[in-house]
Amino acid sequence: MNTPHTAVEAALTDQVVARFADTPDARLKALMQALVRHLHAYVREVEPTEKEWFAAIRFLTDTGKLCDGLVRQEFILLSDTLGISMLVDAINHRQSVGATDTTVFGPFYIAGMPERSCGENMAVTPGTPAVVHGYVRDTNGAPLRGAVLDIWQTADNGMYSGQDTAQPVGNLRGRYHTDADGYYAIRTIVPVSYPIPTDGPVGRMLAATNRHPWRPAHLHFMIDAPGHRKLVTHLFNQGDPYLDSDAVFGVKPSLRVAYEERAADHPLARRFGLDGPFREARYDFVLEPR
Ligand code: BEZ
Ligand code: FE
């Protein structure tokens, strides 16, 4: 009599898990055996046809082909749109009591952008002028002097420099530093909401599942200070229509900030050389010890 098919399937999983038994690195062994168990359970649950399985392989192949190591990283997009990036983020910040909330890194960071002075304008392209400022402190409330704030955001057309070759590469990017009081100030434009790239496999996945590709307007921060854990986060515009449906699940309530209207004669305008009405956003960051 033939062996029942379900017994063959279960035995196969055990066999593959056992094949990793001699992995010298204990963590790698755990990662591989759990991967096999969960992937097999998934396949057992959905029972793909052979055609569906080849379509899945083609999807992953196309995803890999759209990774250039600079500004297009389709695997990060896939991780983000499946909520994996935010799950990894949550797991790795369980102990972060009192520090500013973190969120996704995303695929559009570029290292080595211009060093900028306090209040320097990082926007070459037009938009609604804004000042974003506040303090960086430790979890005891002490100011962190010389913290580096690496900032990036899209232009008003929803594209990042690097992604949009019409923009100079340093547009809406830069490295700001806190002063002796832990104070920072950025002159920029008010961020706009924008769709993540939809011209690849992730875009096809979103369209096929009736999901929109929009991210609520935000400003990216990566903040580094000696002896402290690097903070990767965004500030999201209060009132943005996509705050409750971010395509990559990155919004946390504590990261919302209002861009308040200010007149041309406001003291900040004089201080940072603005010559008309602008918006002001205030936000203080807290870094945890390393
Ligand atoms: C971003 O905010 O730059 C981003 C994050 C995740 C996916 C795509 C873009
Ligand atoms: Fe972004």
Buried-state track 9-23, b at ≥16 Cβ within 10 A, e below 16: eeeebeebbeeeeee
**DSSP string of 165-224?**
TTS-TTTTEEEEE--TTSEEEEEEE----EEPP-SSHHHHHHHHTT---EE--EEEEEEE
User: What one-letter code names the amino acid at 186?
Assistant: I
Q: Which helix (H) or strand (E) holds 8?
A: helix 5-18
Q: Taking the CB of residue 197, how many other CB atoms lie within 10 A of it?
A: 19
pLDDT of 210 strictly over 90: yes
pLDDT of the residue at 2: 61
pLDDT at 1: 53
The pLDDT tens digits of the residues spanning 124-163 come to: 999 999 999 999 999 999 999 999 999 999 999 999 998 8
* Alpha-helical segments (H) within 19-134: 26-46, 50-65, 74-81, 84-92
Buried b (16+ CB within 10 A) or exposed e, 241-275: ebbeebbbbbbbeebbbebeebeeeeeebeebebe
Whether residue 108 has its Cβ less than 6 Å from ligand 1: yes
Hey, whose CA ends up nearest to atom 4 of ligand 1?
A: 106
Q: What gap in Å lies between CA 211 and CA 245, rounded to an integer?
A: 10
What's the predicted TM-score (pTM) here?
0.93
**Residue-wise pLDDT tens digits, 160-187:** 998 898 999 899 999 999 999 999 999 9
Average of pLDDT values for 105-116? 93
- Which of the four pLDDT bands, split at 50, 70 and 90, describes residue 81? very high
Q: Cα–Cα distance between 68 and 160 in angstroms, integer? A: 16
Distance, in Å, from the CA atom of 142 to the CA atom of 202, rounded to the nearest integer, reads: 43
Q: Encode pLDDT of 224-240 as tens digits.
A: 999 999 999 999 999 99
- C-alpha 143 to ligand 2 mean position (Å): 27
Strand 214-215 to 194-195 pairing: antiparallel
Of the candidates 13, 4, 15, the one whose C-alpha atom is nearest the C-alpha of residue 37 is: 13
C-beta 262 within 6 A of ligand 1: no
CA–centroid distance, 199 to ligand 2, in Å, is 17
Parallel/antiparallel/unpaired status of strands 129-138 and 148-152: unpaired
Q: How many angstroms does the Cα of residue 68 sit away from the middle of ligand 1?
A: 16
